Structure 1
Amino acid sequence: MLKQWIFTGLLGISLSACAQHGNDKVPKDMNNIPNNIKTETATFGGGCFWCTEAQLQQLQGVLKVESGFSGGTVPNPSYEAVCTGETGHAEVVQVTYDPSKLTYAELLQAFWTSHDPTQLNRQGNDVGTQYRSVIFYHNEEQHKEAEFYKKKLQESGAYTDPIVTEIAPFTKFYKAEDYHQNYYANNGSQPYCMFVIRPKLEKFKKVFKEHLKQQ
């Protein structure tokens, strides 16, 4: 918990859940973005995309989260192909958000909170380059912010090990198969959801409890 609050202090910002258990559910507006809202896009890889999706879609200002693949050389890859680790792709989430309610810097905070950025090419028992920690920036402003906050986070001493998050230009996003979308919301009773995703989500919700969507 201390790591998250150290990073919050570094940013100097204030931010303006999804299983079918208790009151957790996918926010109703997740797939209905009004045409009059100006949106921006962010792309992150933080291990298994099911985990990252379940966390980031809870935040105020996040309008849509899609699970997919990016950073590799194989066009239109399948999940099975990416799992081999031979496509070069990482499991990522593509986030559509309202910059008037949520800044890119705030999303970076949430991204680094959502996983362990010191683990190289893995998250827990999920091992391989497809599970690497990575930020795919969409413009130079995102690039500068990602590099700046990565450096500040490392200098803060929040982590004793080096932060290995890759920062690379965005090229192409390939949406994963339909059964991967809103995976935790639709499969909350599965063992992976119960014992891996749910603890991460609950920890995330405690850190950002004042900044979650109204359920």
Structure 2
Amino acid sequence: MIHISHEDIDNFHHIYRINLINSCSGYKSANLIGTKSLDGIENVAVFSSVTHLGSNPPMLGFFLRPTTVTRNTYDNLKATGKFTINHIHESILEDAHHTSAKYDSDISEFDKTRLISEYKNSFQAPFVKDAPLQLAMEYVEEYNIKANNTILIVGKIVDLHVNEGLLEDDGFINLSKANVAAINGLDAYAIPLQNKRFSYQRPK
């Protein structure tokens, strides 16, 4: 195996280091987070850091990079308390990835891609139309990570919309049936082909 020391990491070119460290954690979830400003400007952006925090109450979190520059997603969800999480699927990969471009707050990524916004149950934030799994989220709290000035946003699931055929009898959502993507690093996308499930394990 190739050995890379901490000193090596420190001395790498910054682009090489970014690619290395972003990909070493393994495959990550691929989601579009939708928000809407108080002025009515829609925003949608790709995130690979959404993670499960608990089932009762149903909580998810995601990480934001330092807010030393404008973060439209953060500004909007703090102002309104609402955001959506939408799973990226194979047919929208290119447009989903383009939402990582840094547009001004008065420009909607929906207008710069073929992604289409939609609204459900009078929820304030936009969903991404045709996403096979859509979650309406309410902001709960945030935690500042002092080591690198990132922010963990904690949200509560208030509504969940899932395509028919994905929800199995035991509550499991089979994402492989919807060609849902995963992210490797910052810019590589993969489509899992199948699931292998095991029963709940107890000591032998």
TM-score, normalised on structure 1?
0.26
Larger relative contact order (CA 8 Å, sep ≥ 6): 1
